[in-house]
Amino acid sequence: MLNEKLIEDYLDYAEELLCYFVKHRKTLYGEEFVVYNVHSLVHLAEDVRRFHVVKFPDENSVTVVPCSWVDGDMCAWPPFKSLKRIEDCVKNLRDPDPSWQRIRVLIMKSTDSYDKAVKLEERAVFTSDLNSEKEDVEELSRRKRKRPVVNRDSSSEDEVQHLPPFPQIVHHSLPEVSSFSGQTQVVLQQPPFHEQHSMASYVPLNRQLPASPKDIKDGSFQRKVLRLLESIQQDIKELKDSKLNSRGSIPRLPPGCPQLPCESPEDLLNLEGLLKDENMFRNICDFVSSIGGNSIKDCTKSILGKLLSTNLSLKYNWKGTRGIKLGFAALNLINKLIFGAVRNNGMFSAATEVEIQEITKRWLMHAKDRDGGRNLRASLIQINS
């Protein structure tokens, strides 16, 4: 257990030998050679282990955790959102807090250093068996590591068992992890839901496990992939058909809608009333949203220009001025129409109501500058000067 290389392959076997020695010490060497603290030997292997490579069976993922985080088949997991902070906790062997959530795990391998544990984790991405190439992956993934039971009181010769069989020598010929980069996807997963820790954020440092050799051998994995590809192909076909249909149909103003842009306040009030009908609202929204634009500002201004003529926009500001200008904010359904039409454009689906209102206010404020208004004022100023 002092050799770094041998520890990686034979630590489990060393633990079995220690347990065997403690159990049969009297028979092997004689009672006169037994010291009172011989039972402590069984903890030597445990002292060497500092990190576990564990599998989360519910998420089919693996990660490295300190041994102190694991109790039986449950692992404590910190509630931090930062991946770096969780990694620091693992590297520094931080003691688990009682408030951390508990997640079911399977221990796949244990080691004495973080770097070795990370290498084992990378191996676990491609095989759940970190001990032997010959064992079935699924069988190993279901196996739960148990601590050997030591009978400290028995010393009779009829209880002496054969020495634990020496483990098969492992020949390391692992490929570089980077060569599998095209086959494995690094994922950040959401936590399994625990009611008592619903606010905790679970961000394991894990990688998705591949299909087991058993699935590949009997062809079930290939069948699953083929069914999935057929489903994806059908979805793509439906999306293409939908896009072609949408291109072929040009939005038109529904019957009964006033001609746009509106030329008078009466036309605008009439449009406000028509928008109370849901079908009319939807049809007009589709019509004006087809105008589009290169930005939220550009799209909003284009829609406003489609709804209000320049002369009509001169009669409005946002709040209204008594006896001078009308309030555009009072036209609730028209403002709702503008908001919906902007967001109908996939590029601007995240546009906020406040953002669109600010653009509308400025558009009304600068109405006098449109259609050559600014140049006309500049010419008049020049003539008068």
Residue-wise pLDDT tens digits, 296-326:
999 999 999 999 999 999 999 999 988 889 9
- In this predicted structure, what is the pLDDT of residue 153? 44
pLDDT: is 18 or 8 the higher one? 18
Most confident of 8-17, 99-108, 127-136, 166-175: 99-108
Q: Which residue is associated with the tokens 């969780």?
A: 86
Instruction: Assign 20 a pLDDT band (cuts: 50, 70, 90).
Output: confident
Phi, psi angles (nearest 5°) of residue 353? -65, -40
pLDDT of residue 75: 93
More confident residue, 140 or 365: 365
Name which of 252-256, 260-264, 265-269, 319-323 the model is least confident about: 252-256
User: If you average pLDDT over residues 332-347, what whole number do you get?
Assistant: 93
Token pair, residue 10, equals: 């034979």
- pLDDT at residue 200 in the model: 40
Question: Is residue 136 over pLDDT 70?
Answer: no
Question: What is the CB neighbour count within 10 angstroms for residue 163?
Answer: 11
Segment 281-292, tens digit of pLDDT: 999 998 998 888
The string of pLDDT tens digits covering residues 193-242 is: 443 343 344 445 544 455 555 555 556 677 778 888 888 888 888 887 76
In this predicted model, which residue has the larger pLDDT, 379 or 21?
A: 21
User: Which DSSP state fits 326?
Assistant: E
The mean pLDDT value for 355-371 works out to 91
Lowest model confidence (mean pLDDT) among 153-162, 319-328, 333-342: 153-162
Q: What pLDDT sits at residue 202?
A: 47
CA dist 38 and 25 (Å) reads 9
pLDDT at 328: 96
Buried b (16+ CB within 10 A) or exposed e, 210-247: bebeebeeeeebeeeeeeeeeeeeeeeeeeeeeeeeee
| Domains of the chain by residue range | 4-44, 49-125, 265-384
Mean of pLDDT over the chain:
74
Return the H-helix or E-strand segment holding 379: helix 373-384
Residue 269 pLDDT > 80: yes
